Every structure is written in C-alpha cells, then in structure tokens.
Structure 1
C-alpha cells in the first residue's frame, strides 16, 4: 500500500490535502465506521499508517 494512494482517496473526497498522517487515519476510521470500507482494508490501512507514526484520537484516552 502506498501513502500516495491513501492521500489521493482523501483529496478526491475532501477536496483538500491531509495536514497530517493523523488526518488520514481519522478519515479512514470514519469510512470504516460508516461501512464504506471492510475490516480487512481498515486494519491494513490502520497498521500501515500506525507504522508511519500516525496515532488515533482514540489512543489518547
């Protein structure tokens, strides 16, 4: 999975660039919760972004 692919999906829908990796993670978490992506895809994205240094807002609790 390439970061450019994730950014492209984000930019296409949001009409702006993500400011941080955390923005990307939050975006894909919302897509998962809304049922727009399946659990396997979400886990792959989560793990990839987490390895790149992204943290979920839920991890701060």
Structure 2
C-alpha cells in the first residue's frame, strides 16, 4: 500500500515526500477536499501511522 501512496504523491507533486508526515498531510488534504472517502482515508491513516507518521493536526504545543 505504501508504494502506491508514494506513487500517487510523486505523480501529483513531481517529487518524493520529505517525510511520512508530509505524505499523511497530503492524504488528509485529499480527504478534506472530498477526493477520497472516509474508509480509504482511515486505511491510509492507519498504514502511515503504523510506520511512524504523525499528522500536523496531532501536534500539541505547550
């Protein structure tokens, strides 16, 4: 699954994501824009989160 996610990102941006966090943010944006459904987003989130990705929306500032 990760290879397909990377391919999609690279096709749209013409470069590789700098981090898995960057890749997750890309797919969150696609979900917010209505380009992927909640089930697909959840699968992507779980896959990337298991690999160590953290959404920019998850950071807590102290």
1:7-61 deviation digits (Å, cap 9, x = unpaired): 0000001111001000110000000000000000000000110000000011113
- Greater share of residues in helix: 1
- Does residue 37 of the first structure (1) align with residue 36 of the second (2)? yes
CA distance in 2, matches of 1:33, 1:15: 22
Structure whose alpha-carbon radius of gyration is higher: 2
Aligned residues: 60
SS of 1:22 mapped into structure 2: helix
- What TM-score comes out, normalization by structure 2 length? 0.93
Compute the RMSD of aligned alpha carbons.
0.6
Q: Which 5+ residue runs of structure 1 have no aligned equivalent?
A: none
SS of 1:18 mapped into structure 2: coil
